[in-house]
Amino acid sequence: MEYLNAFLCGGLFCAVGQLLIDKTRLTPARILTGYVVTGVLLQALGIFPYLSQWGGAGATVPLLGFGAALAKGVVRAIAENGLLGALTGGLTSTAGGITAAIFFALLAALLFRPNHKR
């Protein structure tokens, strides 16, 4: 059942994103940014923990999960370090994911060469 819930949750997010691409003039970059901000807002409102409990990886792996991790890290860092935590908490909590993205992008750039269209 966990796999089905993850599939339904992630699929719903993808379907909403596709509808936004098809029916609005929003660019994919703006939609992705909107997903991150939505994740922050859902975490701030206390809704994201319930969503991630139901949807599992379908909720935590996409950009909503990244936004929620940013918000959670900021709250934790503010509790520990005061106002300075607002500047450092988000990056500290998501450093592993950011580092992995940079590393795999570098690896792909080194291994593959783009074909130029003529």
**For 25-37, how does the pLDDT look when each residue is reduced to its tens digit (9 = 90+)?**
999 999 999 999 9
How far apart CA 5 and CA 59 sit, in angstroms, is 10
Contact 26, 20 (CB under 8 A): yes
pTM of the model: 0.80
- pLDDT higher than 90, residue 19: yes
